[in-house]
Each structure stands twice: as structure tokens, then as C-alpha cells.
Amino acid sequence: MPPDAISSILTGDVVERVRALELFARVRVEGSRLGDNRSPLLGLSPEFVQHRQYLHGDSLRHVDWRILAKTDRMMTKRFQEFTNTRVAVAIDVSGSMSYRGLGMTKHEYAVRCAAILFYLMSLQRDTFSLCLFSGEAVEWTDSGSSRRHLAQVFERLVNTRPEGTTTISPSLERIQLRLNARGLLVVFSDFMDDPAAIASSLGRLRVRGHDVIAFQVLDPSERELDFVDFTQFRDLEDGSLLAADPLLIRDEYRRRFVAHQLELKEQCLAHGIDHAALEVSEHYEVMIGDYLRRRAVGVR
Amino acid sequence: MSILQPFFLGFLALALIPLILYLIFRLRKHEVAWGATYILRLTINQKKRQNLWKQIVVLSLRTIMLALLALAFARPFLAQGRGGGQEYPRGPQRLHRIVLVDNSQSMLASAGSRTRLDDARAALTGLVAGLRAGDVCGVAPLAPAKPGEPIAALDVPCPSTPDAASAIAARIAVSAEPIDLAAAVRAALASFRDVAAPQRQLIVISDYCRADHPAIDGYDVLGEQLRALGVRTAGLNLGLHDASNLAIESVGSGSELFLPGQLTNLYVDIVNFGDARSPQAKAQILVDGKPFADQVVALPPGGRKRLVFPVALEAGRRRIEVKVDPDALPGDNDVVSFVEARPEVNVLIVTPFDPKAEGFGREGEFLRRALESAAETPSRMKTQVLGANNFIPQDLAGRDVVILCGVPEVPAEIAAGLEQLVRRGGGLLVACGPAVVPAKLNASLKGLLPAELDEPARGEIDPERYTNIQASDIPILLLREFEESQAGDLGAARVYNHIRVKPAPAAGEDDALSATLASASASVRSARPLLSLVTGGPLLLERQVGKGVTLLWTTSLGGSWTSLPVHHAYLPLLVRVVNYAAGFSGHPRNLAPNDAFIADVTDTTGALSVTTPDTRLVSAGVVASAGRRFVRFEDTAAPGVYELQDSAGHVLAPFWVARPMHESDIRGLEPAQVRRLEQALDLRLASDVPGLRAALWRPGDGREFTAWFVLLALALVALDALLTWSWFR
């Protein structure tokens, strides 16, 4: 039974349904113990990878006797090593994530999605950690895979309040510094910044061997700008005011919004990063489940 | 381009509504917490300039659209032929225009520095200037210069110039006479019939005071004739319908003769002839130019108040001037009254018996002592008591007043002397009493008595049967103070008996001198009661005879038939009556318009002249009669102060001609009266010159742009809808 912090985020039904999901890294990851993810290392497993010239000291157990019999060459069989993965879930907790349309805020939505992933990691015995970034601050929790660690992460999630400003690219740079071993990085954010800069920062993580998933959390009302009267928009991050007649700018705003999403998606694809838009109007479990199923098909 | 309905130009302010609404909505903008400000900021920065222009364009469109609608309602038009916004509407054909201008005294009312007459002249200048060659134009004042004179029209040469128009307007002079609109319209109709012109216009410029139009129904016939001739009729109403006008209606004490040092009530009647309540104004009395007393007065529209100023004058001729604070019509805010405080009044008392033998018990001596005690220093009643038996005509010499105190009869030669005395301005007071023989007195004083004496009301005196004096509604100002019970309680006096009277026979012909001396106003006065008994019978009657007056007291002056002598009112009443009777020896100095002014100039030689209120110097003719020389001056139509002066310029006698009060009434016509007037004369009344243009407007007089403006506004509405749909959906 999940502790209180967990039950406050994930209901029993959701937990049951999440058990049927799985998440693997698409790249080879460096785990600390046996798991379901491919390791860059070769090891003991039924899955043959290649032959290698026998070297002194190799175990005779892996010598391919058939090749030796046919070619008189002594070759050793190499097998794939499977390991668990290190998963870091980074959540944007800047002020813009506190936007509330008709339902929950983007932050609340991101927290629930992350909770599902954490729970899934816990089931897969992957090592996971939580990263909260906002402005200059990047806050990490310890890595772990135990139920106790899961409870701690959930408690942290529950007690987080979105505030402050964020420029996403520098935050991603700071996150990169913390990620030593290759693993999976999941980022939840609205990515309200320059798409090229965001994709570039995420791309650098990808180059370093990390598998990166960028979840863009959106509220449909943000996309519509569905106001009639002259409106004063207060920036949730820095509190600055922007006065505008929505009727005059709505078309251009919608066009720009869609263009921003498309560009972000294309940039992520170009850098080999998974991009998925999560709309708060849809149920988070459905959105995450769909994504994981699509991903699972692509991985294996 | 000109405007037919300038009132609607005020609606141009409505054109600001879109801007005001825009600003209101901007001020009322609601605040929204927004997450995607990154994209919003980019959008706003890119669209800032474009959006500003869109807003300016839409706001301008809506503003212009409303302005065009306001202009359309104001009915802009371009007159045919000659351009110019000041031109009056007219067709291209020959025009016959007649302008009737109110030149009565009420046109001197003003709402500031400009009088109604100034505005009338300016409007007249505009109407006359710019007439074309071949047009016919006539200008006529509505009031004649003098009573009975026909209205003199001024011909306007056409084409006319602004200078010529101004010159014609300047010739409209104010008249003291009331206007006669019907006569002026009749004259205009005759002129229209004489001239063949396709276009006919009649314009009446006036303040349309209700006092000038007592019978609007009478204009119906004129209206029918105007319609039959196709006359386009319009009026310019220059009345100030929110002004008050305090006017001094009358000033007087009932007599021009005062007793020096004696307190006498001066009555000042003030009326508000304006449409608005008057502010508090100060009514001030000046005696010989020096402030004497003042009171504050404030009256509602149509309100009237009588102010009472007790005055005591020093001996001599005095100028009493009453002023109220200036208002819309300053001309009626001051009135002058010339009075005389004569130091000595010579009174002869004639009794039925020898006064020396009578002692105190007889009325003659009682009366003498009463009069002398009541009017002692500094005034003096010089009295003498004579027995009827010792009375000879020579005793009348130098007398101001003769009192026949219960005399049974008057010998013929005495009666002739008395008549001569009265006709020259003396006063005769005939008092009744037990000794009076009515038939004999009627016979001897025929032609002098105000009424024919009948028998006494009672044969014998019964202390239980009496009547009282009616102490209310006293017609003569001099005695009006006795209406109040605290002023001697005249009404409490008992009258035990009195002589009944019958109407007097017709007055005889005046002699030549009396005719010379009688002023116009005095000649119309006949017998009238001054005091009455509560039973309705007269107590004191007056009859003007020649220049003087005869008074008949139908009961006794002493205590024989009345208890009046024991009442406080007795002495002042007696003095007032004697004072009144003596007040006709001089010539009246306070006249009505067109009354003759008469002055005795026997002691003056050389040419005489009179300065008029309008500063003219008019030669005054001298009439010689009965060895004396008199000036009789009849050119007194203009109200104000006149001064008779000798060749050296010394003022011999000033006099005052009162203003006619009907011109002080500047109250405008009631709305119902205006409608009736417009209906009767087919007249469209305008309150200003642009309105007059609109009233004269007929289709065909020029090009009206109302429809174009409406169309343009509708086009802008469509464009605005299109842009709004395109930009703001």
C-alpha cells in the first residue's frame, strides 16, 4: 500500500493500471545492477552479440567450439549485458506552471504524470531521482529505487509550489552537470522559451548518451486566448503586466503558439529527443499510458 | 454652407462617445494571470503598431459617423445663387421682403451689454444686406412715434450693401407707444398686394411680450390673407424668458403738497414684470439727490408689493427719486416725483354763527384750534374763523382752502367767489351739520358740490343708532394709512347722522383761463367718493372743478353728528383732507405721457425752452391770460424728467412724465399663446438668427445636404462593420 503522499497523488485504480506499463531507455544505459535495459557493457545473458578472438585469461566456457572445429581458430562468444537504468525526472516549477485554465494547473498535471513514472520506475527497480528547477535553483533528491525512496520523492512532489522565473536552457545546463552515468532524463515543462535553445540544451544531454523525453504540459485555454474585453495579462513568473485587446491579437497569437509547438517538436526530433505534448484537459493517466505504449513499440 | 437647425450642432459632442467608451473599456480592463506570456509578448510586440492603427481607424470611423449624423440633423444647406453662411434662405426669383421691427420700450431690456433692440438691429442688418437688384424690401417699426400717427415704413434700396443695411437699422428708434402688430401686418399686406413678386417674406422681429398681444385671435384674419398671398412668415423672438424685471409702478402720497416736518406716507408700488423671481433688490428713496431711506424687495414673477416710506420734508420744492437695483430693463427702475412742502397753508373756516360768541362749544373754533394744533411749527396752518353773516368775497383773497363748516346757505356773490377760488386751484371743503339747509346749499353751490345734498339720514340724533366709517379700500393714497386700525382706528368712529346725497348736476363750462390751466389728466377727473360709510353712503366726496377741488363731508366736522373728534384719527385725517384740498393751487409736476405741463411764468421775461429726457432743447411758447403769463408745453410723449429753463439756462421748473407701465411687462408669451400666434399668422417663431433662417427655409431655397450626410454616415457604418468583422472577430 502506498504511503499517504503517494495516495494523495495516485489513486488505487491508477496504481493498478500503471502496473501494466513499462518504461525502458532507448539507449544503452549504465545501471548499477541487473535490469531490463541494455547496457553498453557485454556480460552474461542468453542474448548473443558478437564473436571475439580468444584472449588469454578468457573463460573457456564462452569459447565457440564449432568455429574452432571448422576453422581452427579460437573465438569467444560475447553476450549482451542487461542492467537497470538511472532515471531523472526534472519538473519545471517556475511560476508559469501555476497557470490554471478550467481544470488543474500545469504543475499539478506534471506532478501526477511524474508520479506515475516514479511509481513505474519503482516497480522496474530502476534508480530514480527528482529534479525541480526554477530560475537559478536546481534542486535534486537522492537517487534510489526503494519504496521508501519513492515515498520521499512523492512527498517532495506534493510539497512543491511553482514560483519564480525560469530560462529553461541554463537550467538544463545545470541538470546536465549532475548526470554522470548515462540514463533516462524526463523533463516536464511548458517550454515557454526559445524552442531552438531548449532543443539545443536537450540535444547536448542526448549527445552525452542520455535518453531524453520532453513532456510539454499545455493548457488548451492558453492556446485559444479566448477573451473578448480589453485585458491586462499578468505574467505568472515575474508579475509584469501586458495590456492587449485579445480581439486584435488572437489570430496572430494562435498562429505563434502552434508554430512554437511545431518548432519545438521538430527541433527535438532533430536532436533525437522524444517530445510529447500533454494537455491538462486530458486525463494524465491516459496521456502517459498512451505515450509509454507508443514508446514501448518503438523500443523493441 | 449654412445650418438650418444649429441646435443639433450640440450633438456633435456625441461623436466623442466611441472615444469615451474606448477609454472606459480600457480603464475597466480586467486582469488575467497568464502562463504563456512568452508567446503573448512576442505577439504584442509584433502587432503593437498595427493594432494601434487599427484602433485609430475604427475609432475615427465611428467618430466621423456620429459627427455626420449630428450634422445631418442640423440640416446643412448651401443657399442658391450667392454663397455665404450668413445669407437667408431664398429662391432664385425676385423677392419681396418686409421686416417689422419692435421698437417699443421693452426692447431696451438687456441680458448683458446688448439690448433686445441691438439684437433686432443686427438681425435686421442681416436681413436687409445682400438683397439683389430687383428685390423689394421694406422695414417698418411696430410702434408709431406718437399716438395716432401712422407707422412710417423705411424703403430699402436694392441691391443693398451691409453699410446701407446698418444705416437703416440705426434709424429704428424706440417709441414710448405700444406696438400695433395688426396695423403693421395690414400695412405689409397692402404693400405685398402692390408689388408683384414670386417670393414674399414677412419677418417680425420682436420680444413678443404678452402685454403686446392681448387678443391673438384677432390675427386669424391677417393670417388667412398672408396665406392667400403666399407670404412666407417668420418671427425672431428676442424675449428674455428667464429674466426678472422690477419696475416702479407708482410713487406718491396722494398729493403733491406736503406739510413741512409732517410725517407723510410715501407709497411706492413695485411690480416684477419678468418671467423669473427677482433677486433681492434695494429700493431706495433719495430726496434732492440724497439717500433718505431704503428697503429690500424680492418678488415672484408677476408679484406686486407696496412699500411704505414715512417721509418728513423740509419746506420748499423737493425732488423725490425712487430707485431699485438695475435689472433687465433699467428704464423702469427709477421714478421721480416733484413735490412741494409749503410752509404755510391759509385756511378760512366759515361757521353759521358769530365765532366770538360761540366759544369752545361751537365747531368753527374747535376746528381752528384742532388744525393749528395738529400742524404747528415748522409747518403752519394759518386759520381764520368767520361767521357766515360776516363773510364777504374779499375774505377769500389769498386762501388756499375754505371750509364751510355746517353753513346753512351761501350768498350768491360768495358762491361766485368760491367758484372762482376753486377754478384757480383752491380747495373748498363743505362740511354738513344740523344747521345745513340742503336745498339752499344746492342752489348756491350748484356747479361746485360733488353731489346734490338731500335730507339728513335721521330727523333726530339717537345715541343708540349710528353707523361707522368704512376704513378699508380707501381710494386716495393720502388717506390710505387710516386703513390700519393702529392709525387712529378710523373705523371705530360713530356717525349718528349725515346728509344723504344724489348725483350732482353736470359741471358748467370752464372759463378760458381754467381751460388753459387744466391739464389733460385733471380734466377727466369727476366726482368720486374718497371715504364711505359702512352702510354704503358716501362720507367724503371729491369733485374737480377747474384746477381746484371741492370736497363734501356729509356729516359734521365737529362733534354734532359724529364721535370722530374724540378718536385719534381725527386730527391727522383733518390735516390730510385740508392738505389734499390745498394741493391743487400749484401746477402738477408729475404728469402722464402727453399731458400738458403748465407753469406760471409771469415773473420771467425772455424766451423759454424745455429740455426733454432725450436731451433735446424745445422752445416753450408763452400764453397770456388774465394778466398773467403761462407756459403750456404739450410735447410730453417721452417719459422722464423735463426742465423748463430761461434764456440764461436757469431751471425754472422741472417736471416728470411717467413711463407707460405696459412696456415694463417683459414677460414673454405663454407656450400656448406662442402656438396660437404661430397658428394665427402662419408664423414660425425662432429664438435666434440661425433659427430664423431655418424658419424661412422652404424646399427649393438651396441645396440641403442632410440626405448626403446620412448616406455617408451609413456608408461609414458599413465600412466599420466590415473592418470590425475583419479585424476583431
A287 contact partners, CB below 8 Å, separation of at least 6: A113, A276, A278, A279
- Nearest-by-Cβ selection for B728 from A227, A248, A256: A248
pLDDT reading at B28 higher than 50: yes
Nearest CB partner across the interface for A256, out of B29, B43, B728: B43
The span from the CA of A117 to the CA of A113, in Å, is 7
Number of domains in chain A: 2
pLDDT tens digits, B577-590: 988 898 888 888 88
What band does A48 get if pLDDT is binned at 50, 70 and 90?
Answer: low
Query: What's the average model confidence in pLDDT over B41-47?
Result: 87
Whole-angstrom distance, CA of residue B676 vs CA of residue B678: 5
Distance (Å, whole) CA B696 – CA B89: 6
Instruction: For residue range A265-288, list pLDDT tens digits in order.
Output: 998 989 888 899 999 988 888 888
The answer to whether residues A19 and A48 belong to one domain is no
For residue A75, what pLDDT band results from cuts at 50, 70 and 90? confident
**Higher local confidence (pLDDT), A84 or A227:** A227
In whole angstroms, give the CA distance from residue B579 to residue B339: 13
Cα A23 from Cα A37, distance rounded (Å): 9
pLDDT above 60: residue B86:
no
Quote the CA–CA distance of A52 and A64 in Å, as a whole number: 10
Of B31, B33, B38, the CB nearest to A193: B38
Helix (H) / strand (E) containing B112: none
Cβ pair A96:B36 closer than 8 A: yes
User: Please, what is the average pLDDT of chain B?
Assistant: 84
Report the range of poorest mean pLDDT among B152-156, B331-335, B444-448, B698-702.
B698-702
Is the pLDDT reported for residue A216 higher than 90?
Answer: yes
Beta strands in B375-466 (DSSP E): 380-387, 401-405, 427-431, 451-456
How far is A267 from A169, CA to CA, in rounded Å?
14
Contacts of A220 in chain B (CB under 8 A): none
Q: Give the Cα separation of B350 and B365 in Å (integer).
A: 10
More confident residue, A267 or A179: A267
Q: Are the beta carbons of A132 and A160 closer than 8 angstroms?
A: yes
Span B590-657 CATH architecture? Sandwich (2.60)
B36 CA to chain A: closest CA distance, Å?
6
Residues B286-295 pLDDT 10s: 999 999 999 9
In B291-380, which residue ranges form alpha helices assigned H by DSSP? 355-358, 363-374
Q: Do A179 and A69 reside in the same domain of the chain?
A: no
CA distance B388 to B350: 6
Q: Residue B537, Cα to own-chain centre: how many angstroms?
A: 35
Task: State how far the alpha carbon of A2 is from the alpha carbons of A6, A8, A15, B34, B535, in Å.
Answer: 5, 10, 9, 35, 124
Peptide bond into A162 cis (omega under 30): no
In angstroms, the CA B568 to CA B361 distance is 20
Q: Is the peptide bond before B147 cis (omega within 30 degrees of 0)?
A: no
Report the gap between the CA of B24 and the closest CA in chain A (Å): 10
Q: How far is CA B250 from the centre of its chain?
A: 9
| Nearest neighbour of A248 by CB, restricted to B34, B35, B47 | B47
**CATH number of A210's domain:** 3.40.50.410
- Residues of B engaging A, defined by a Cβ cutoff of 8 Å: 25-26, 28-44, 46-47, 51, 54-55, 727-729
In whole angstroms, what separates CA B375 from the centre of its chain? 36
Q: What is the mean pLDDT of residues B638-645?
A: 90
Q: Answer yes or no: are the C-beta atoms of A167 and A193 closer than 8 Å.
A: yes
Strand B401-405 vs strand B344-351: parallel, antiparallel, or unpaired? parallel
Q: What is the pLDDT of residue A153?
A: 87
For chain B, give the percent of residues with pLDDT over 70: 92
- pLDDT at site B385: 85
Q: Which residue, chain included where needed, has cell 571448422?
A: A70
The answer to whether residues B585 and B426 touch, using CB atoms and an 8 Å cutoff, is: yes
Q: Pairing state of beta strands B401-405 and B380-387? A: unpaired
pLDDT given at position A264: 92
Give the distance, in angstroms, between the CA of residue B40 and the centroid of all CA atoms in the same chain.
80
Q: Is the dihedral of CA B410, B416, B417, B419 positive or negative?
A: positive
Same domain, A77 and A175: no
> Cβ–Cβ of A222/B35 closer than 8 Å?
yes
Shared domain for A70 and A137, answered yes or no, is: no
pLDDT exceeds cutoff 90 at B235: yes
Per DSSP, the three-state class of B322 is strand
Is residue B464 within 8 Å of B502, Cβ to Cβ?
A: no
What single DSSP character describes residue B14? G
Tell me which of B486 and B502 has the higher pLDDT: B502
pLDDT attached to residue B522: 38
Residue B559 pLDDT: 85
A122 & A74 share domain? no
pLDDT in tens, B646-671: 888 888 889 999 887 777 888 888 88
Residues from chain A contacting residue B40 (CB–CB below 8 Å): 225, 233, 242, 244, 249, 253
**What is the DSSP pairing of strand B334-341 with strand B316-323?**
antiparallel
Write the burial class of residue B347 (CB in 10 Å: 0-12 exposed, 13-18 middle, 19+ buried): buried
From A165's Cα to the closest Cα of chain B, the distance in A is 11
Selected residue with higher pLDDT from B524 and B729: B729
In chain B, residues under CATH classification 2.60.40.10 are 246-341
Which positions in chain B touch A262 (Cβ < 8 Å)?
A: none
CATH number for B344-582: choose from 1.10.3720.10, 1.10.645.10, 3.40.50.880, 3.40.50.300. 3.40.50.880
Identify the three-state secondary structure at position A205: helix
pLDDT at site B400:
92
Q: Are residues A206 and A251 located together in one domain of the fold?
A: yes
Q: How far is CA B194 from CA B96, B189, B229, in A?
A: 11, 9, 11
Task: Please report residues of B whose CB lies closer than 8 A to that of A95.
Answer: 35
Q: Are A264 and A133 in a shared domain?
A: yes
Measured distance CA(B700)–CA(B692) in Å, rounded: 17
- A20 and A138 co-located in one domain: yes
What are the distances in angstroms from CA B357 to CA A55, B353, B556, B561? 192, 8, 20, 21
Q: Which of B26, B31, B39 sits opposite A234 (nearest CB)?
A: B31
The phi, psi pair for B493, rounded to 5°, reads -70, 140
- pLDDT range class, residue A21, cuts 50, 70, 90: low
Mean pLDDT of B76-99: 69
- Confidence bin at B376 (pLDDT 50/70/90): low
Residue B524: CB atoms within 10 A of its CB come to: 9
Mean pLDDT of B318-325: 91
Instruction: Find the CB nearest B43 among A227, A232, A253.
Output: A253
Residue scoring higher pLDDT (B712 or A57): B712
Selected residue of B44, B57, B727 to mutate for chain A interface (largest A Cβ count, 10 A): B44
Does the domain formed by B246-341 have CATH 2.60.40.10? yes
Query: In this model, does residue B512 exceed pLDDT 60?
Result: no
Q: Which top CATH class is B95-241+668-700? A: alpha beta
Cα A168 to Cα A162: distance, rounded to the nearest angstrom: 14
Which of A49-58, B35-44, B286-295, B465-474 shows the lowest mean pLDDT across its residues? A49-58
Give the helix, strand, coil percentages of chain B, each rounded to 5: 35, 30, 40
- Give the three-class secondary structure for A134: strand
Chain A residues closer than 8 Å to B728 by CB: 245, 247-248
> In this complex, do B38 and A253 lie within 8 Å of one another by their Cβ atoms?
no
User: Which residues does B366 contact at the CB level (< 8 Å), separation at least 6?
Assistant: B360, B558, B559, B565
Tell me which residue in A97, A192, A245 faces B38 most closely, judged by beta carbons.
A192
Structural domain span for residue A57: 34-83
Contact B22, B712 (CB under 8 A): no
Residues A159 and A267 in one domain: yes
Asked whether residue B111 carries a pLDDT value surpassing 80, the answer given is no
For residues A128 and A161, state if they share a domain.
Answer: yes
Average pLDDT, integer, range B496-525: 57
Interchain CB contacts (distance < 8 Å): A and B:
102
State the CB neighbour count (10 A cutoff) for residue B406.
28
Average pLDDT over every residue of B555-572:
87
Instruction: Please report, rounded to a whole number, the percentage of residues in chain B having pLDDT higher than 90.
Output: 26
Whether residue A300 has pLDDT greater than 70: no
- CA A192/CA A200 separation, integer angstroms: 15
The DSSP secondary structure of B201-218, one letter per residue, reads EEEEEE--BGGG-S-GGG
Confidence of residue B374 (pLDDT cuts 50, 70, 90): low
Please answer yes or no on whether A99 and B33 come within 8 Å at the CB atom. yes
User: Are A233 and B34 a contacting pair at CB < 8 A?
Assistant: yes
CA separation for the pair A274, B217 (Å, rounded): 100
Beta carbons of B317 and B340 less than 8 angstroms apart: yes
On whether both A15 and A69 belong to a single domain, the answer is no
My answer on whether A68 and A167 are in the same domain is: no
The grid coordinates of residue A209 equal 548518451
CA-based nearest residue in chain A for residue B33: A234
Residue B66, pLDDT score: 92
CA of residue B457 relative to chain centroid, distance: 44
Residue A187 has pLDDT above 90, yes or no: yes
Task: Collect all residues of chain A within an 8 Å Cβ-Cβ radius of residue B28.
Answer: 229-230
Q: CB B36 to CB A192 under 8 A?
A: yes
Q: Give backbone dihedrals phi and psi of B110, rounded to 5 degrees, phi first.
A: -140, 155
pLDDT: which is higher, A80 or A269: A269
Question: Distance (Å) from the C-alpha of residue A189 to the closest C-alpha of chain B?
Answer: 12
pLDDT confidence tier of residue B573, bands split at 50, 70 and 90: confident
